[in-house]
Chains A and B, each alone.
Chain A
Amino acid sequence: MRRIPLFSMRNLRLAVLSAGALLFLAPYIWMISTAAKSREEIFSSSLTLLPQHWALWENLAKAFSRVPMGQLLLNGLIVCALIFFFQVVIAIPCAYAMAKLKFRAAQTMMTLVMLGLLIPIHATALPIYVALNKVGMLNSYFALSAPFFISVFGIFLFLQFFRAMPDDLIAAARLDGMSELAIVNRVIVPNAWPAVTAFAIFSVVAHWNDLFWPLIVITGTERATPPLGLLFFRAAEAGDDYGALMAATLIITLPLVAAFLLAQRRFIEGITLTGLKG
């Protein structure tokens, strides 16, 4: 085998990429480091990556005892699941109709979807808040999830994916006696798993980490999502207890990291899919 010289292009590339990776990972690494340090050590003048006295368990225990961590995680799970479920249930039939059925409003709908992609939640937040307030639905799972039930991004993503599906397949299904709904359930969905997975990643990551919307509609901890819970924790209890705060952060980011590691291949497939076909 040919020896690779130390200052080759390959090593240079690796060095640049490693430096970049380190830069992006640094805050997360620092968070883990802080989560394992005691209070005195965090505020000491010397900066060390590895703590001298391990206080990870104490910090984790504080995080669990001072905020209802279990409740927060459960809330996050329920909200993400609700949002994802309704998004898929609405977006898939909608995208199927737009991709494969011929009807007069198709062009208009396409324009509306494109417009919808341009409007951020921040623009519509106030009217939705007022409406939820009027019907007395603030501080509920419904308030947390309902504004996201219709995902134009989801419709757009599925639309691109369904367009690539052969028309003959749908024609065959119709001849075999399937209704349009049966076609969606029995032909489209079973073959759309890559798109569903990709969409699940985007949706769950976005709504698990979302702070903006929960901050607007939730005032108490009993319906708070993890990021909002952290905010309450910081404001009310922790004050300057950064070790416990970082331990709490570690806990709420852990499910996503674990999910990513478990589904790494699918995750990358999903991203590639949206990159290529989107």
Chain B
Amino acid sequence: MSAFALRNISKSYGANSILNDVSIEAEEGEFIALVGPSGCGKSTLLRIAAGLDHGDTGSIWMGDREITAIHPADRNVAMVFQSYALYPHLTAEQNIAVPLAMRNLSTLQRMPFLGRFVSGRRTAQAGIKQQVLTTATSLQIDHLLDRKPGQMSGGQRQRVALARALVRQPGVFLMDEPLSNLDANLRVHTRAEIVDLHRRAGVPTIYVTHDQSEALSMADRVAVMMGGKVLQFDSPASIYDDPRHIEVAKFVGSPRINIINAITSENGAVILAGKTVAEGVTGPVGTPIQLAIRPERIKLRSASAKGIAATISRLEFLGSEVLVATHVAGTEDDLVVKAVPADIAHLAAGAPVTLQIDKDACLIFGQDGLRVPMRTPTRIAVDA
């Protein structure tokens, strides 16, 4: 039984289908990333998980308790928003204390002036203050407690928002692109901090992002969403190396995966510029397929080497690596190769080179976008 589960959630606005039978579950202490392009429904799914929105069908479970119809406040979920959503009129301390005050104090005790005379308020408030301080200290924001959000930097606000979510010890953590408003440096730094925080708290976390590198680097499992569907829900390594759908392959990885249109030959072989690059593709001969190859799985060799002949059309120097766009006769788009600077020391645009494609590097997708099954045992890349 999973700690938190969304089961068969569908949602549409009029004829517009936003979510289509989506199921996601998080085990105890698991970090799940929902990743996809904007408009794929990932934020809607998160809002449904929080109870801010409601699905047309489907159910939401926390352990063995169904919470589909339960009010957001009673679900014991915490959410960190992209805009942080701190109360502008309250100090950091008061902001962090709000969820505790709403839960631990009675309506009477919360009254602005009269509350002071209700019994038990002082003890409850002392407890809250202590919890706020502990949480703030663990996030290293205890020195900011009497500042208002307007007097803090983006990174500090983000920590206060995290503290507010953390302090109530929720059953599940929901995060909606919490890093997208930070500058690039801080983002990478905070990534590690959030992962660390998650490990310490041990609370299942659902993290929405449009940044595939964020998803791959932070999550235990990644759900790639597109057009209101989960295309693949798997470990980061499987998402990257073994995509089930061509859209997943295209979305994940930078630079983007190379896609080549091809047709199967005898024995299910795929031939690129006269060389067989894959074998054992199922289906009749002449089936149009799409060949996908990661840029780092292609090796750049001198023109005299054995392999696929190509010419360099563009070089992009990135410091530790170079992206080389190469043109292979008979293909439409350039093939991008990730090379080390040493490989291209003496090369310039227009120079002839040879490409060698790694064994098992070719991912074959059918016209419907799904992976084409391979005949086993597969013998691949005989002479490439």
- In the complex, whether A187 has a CB less than 8 A from a CB of chain B is yes
Residue B352, interface by CB 8 Å: no
8 Å CB contact of B88 from A173, A176, A182, A191: A191
Check if A70 is an interface residue, CB within 8 A of chain B: no
B379 at the interface (CB under 8 A from A): no
The answer to whether the Cβ of A177 comes within 8 Å of any Cβ in the partner chain is yes
CB of B47 within 8 Å of the partner chain: yes
Q: Is the CB of B98 within 8 A of A166?
A: no
The reply to whether the CB of B83 lies closer than 8 angstroms to some CB of chain A is yes
- Asked if B99 contacts A176 (CB within 8 A), the reply is yes
> Are B50 and A177 in contact, with the CB atoms below 8 A?
no
Report Cα–Cα, A175/B103, bound state, in Å.
11
Which residue of A169, A173, A177, A182 contacts B103 across the interface (Cβ within 8 Å)? Answer: A177
A247 to B20, CA, bound (A): 76
Q: How far is the CA of A175 from the CA of B175 in the complex (A)?
A: 13
Which residues on A sit within 8 Å (CB–CB) of B83? 166, 168-169
**Which interface class (under 10, 10 to 19, 20 to 34, 35 or more) fits A?**
10 to 19
- Give complex CA distance A176, B104 in Å: 12
Residue in B79, B84, B86, B89 whose beta carbon sits within 8 Å of that of A175 in the complex: B79
Q: Select which of B74, B85, B103 is within 8 A of A172 by beta carbon.
A: B85
- Shortest distance in angstroms between B103's beta carbon and chain A's nearest beta carbon? 6
How extensive is the interface on chain B, given as a class? 20 to 34
B349 within 8 A of A: no
**B81–A168 touching, CB < 8 Å:** yes
B102 near A191 with CB under 8 A, answer no
**CB contact between B73 and one of A169, A175, A186 (< 8 Å): that residue:** A175
B102→A177 contact, CB < 8 A: yes
Q: How many A-B residue pairs have CB under 8 A?
A: 57
CB distance from B111 to the nearest CB of A (A): 11
Interchain CB contact (< 8 A) of B78 among A168, A175, A187 = A175
* B63 CB–A CB distance under 8 Å: no
CB interface residues, B 74-94, toward A, < 8 Å:
74, 77-79, 81-89
With an 8 A cutoff between CB atoms, is A66 at the interface?
A: no
Chain B residue, CB-CB nearest to A185: B112
Q: Determine chain A's interface SS by DSSP, over half rule.
A: helix
Complex alpha-carbon distance, A166 and B81, angstroms: 11
The smallest beta-carbon distance between A100 and chain B, in angstroms, is 12
Assess whether B227 is interfacial by the CB under 8 Å rule: no
Measured CB to CB, the nearest residue on chain A to B170 is A175
Most B CB within 10 A of own CB, among A166, A171, A175, A186: A175
| Smallest Cβ-Cβ distance to B47: which chain A residue | A171
B1 at the interface (CB under 8 A from A): no
Distance from A278 Cβ to chain B, minimum over Cβ atoms (Å): 22
Q: In chain B between 55 and 74, which residues have their CB closer than 8 angstroms to a CB of chain A?
A: 72-74
Specify which chain B residues have a CB less than 8 angstroms from the CB of A166 in the assembled complex.
Answer: 83, 85
Minimum CB–CB distance from A2 to chain B (whole Å) comes to: 40
A172 to B99, CA, bound (A): 10
A182 to B85 Cα, complex, angstroms: 16
B72 touches which of A168, A175, A186, A187 (Cβ 8 Å)? A175
Q: Which B residues, 37 to 54, have Cβ-Cβ distances below 8 Å to chain A? A: 47, 50-52
* Across-interface contacts of A163 in B (CB, < 8 A): none
Q: Is A174's beta carbon under 8 Å from chain B?
A: yes
The reply to whether B99 and A174 form a contact with Cβ atoms under 8 Å apart is no
Q: How far is the CA of A32 from the CA of B117 in the complex (A)?
A: 53
| Cα distance, A266 to B103, chains bound together (Å) | 37
Partner of A171, one of B79, B87, B98, B103: B79
Q: Is the CB of A178 within 8 A of B85?
A: no
Tell me if A176 and B73 are in contact (CB < 8 A).
yes
- Bound: A238/B78 CA distance, A: 71
A182–B101 CA distance with the chains assembled, in angstroms: 12
For B87, the chain A residues whose CB sits under 8 A away are 169, 172-173, 186-187, 190-191
CA distance A34 to B87 in the complex (A): 53
- Give the chain B neighbours of A174 by CB distance below 8 A: 51-52, 72-73
Contact with B along A176-206 (1 / 0, CB 8 A): 1110001000110011000000000000000
List the A residue with the shortest CB-CB distance to B99. A176
Interchain CA distance A168-B81 in the complex, whole Å = 7
Collect the chain B residues with CB atoms within 8 Å of residue A173's CB.
87, 98
Q: Mark A225-257, 1 if CB is under 8 A from B, else 0.
A: 000000000000000000000000000000000
Q: Do B98 and A175 touch across chains, with their CB atoms under 8 A apart?
A: no
Chain B residues with CB under 8 Å of A191's CB are: 87-89
Chain A contacts of B74 at CB under 8 A? 177
B82 adjacent to A168 (CB under 8 Å):
yes
Chain B positions within 8 Å of A172 at CB level = 79, 81, 85-87, 164
- Residue with the greatest number of chain A CB neighbours at <10 A, chosen from B47, B50, B51, B81: B81
Q: How far is the CA of A182 from the CA of B112 in the complex (A)?
A: 12
In the complex the two chains form, what is the Cα distance from A169 to B90 in whole Å?
A: 13
Interface contact A169-B102, CB-CB below 8 Å? no
When the two chains form their complex, are residues A177 and B99 in contact, meaning their CB atoms are under 8 A apart?
A: yes
User: Separation in Å of the A26 CB from the closest CB of chain B?
Assistant: 44
**Residues of A participating in the B interface, judged by any CB pair closer than 8 Å:** 166, 168-169, 171-178, 182, 186-187, 190-191
28 A–B contacts, CB within 8 A, in A order: A168-B82, A168-B83, A168-B84, A169-B83, A171-B50, A172-B79, A172-B86, A174-B52, A174-B72, A174-B73, A175-B50, A175-B52, A175-B72, A175-B73, A175-B78, A175-B79, A176-B164, A177-B73, A177-B74, A177-B102, A177-B103, A178-B102, A186-B87, A187-B87, A190-B87, A190-B89, A191-B87, A191-B89
Which 5 A-B residue pairings sit nearest by Cβ, starting from the closest? A177-B102, A177-B73, A172-B85, A168-B85, A190-B89
Excluding A168-B84, A182-B102, 19 further A-B contacts by CB distance (< 8 Å) are A166-B83, A166-B85, A168-B85, A169-B87, A171-B50, A171-B81, A172-B85, A172-B86, A172-B87, A175-B51, A175-B99, A176-B73, A176-B102, A177-B73, A177-B99, A177-B103, A186-B87, A187-B87, A190-B89
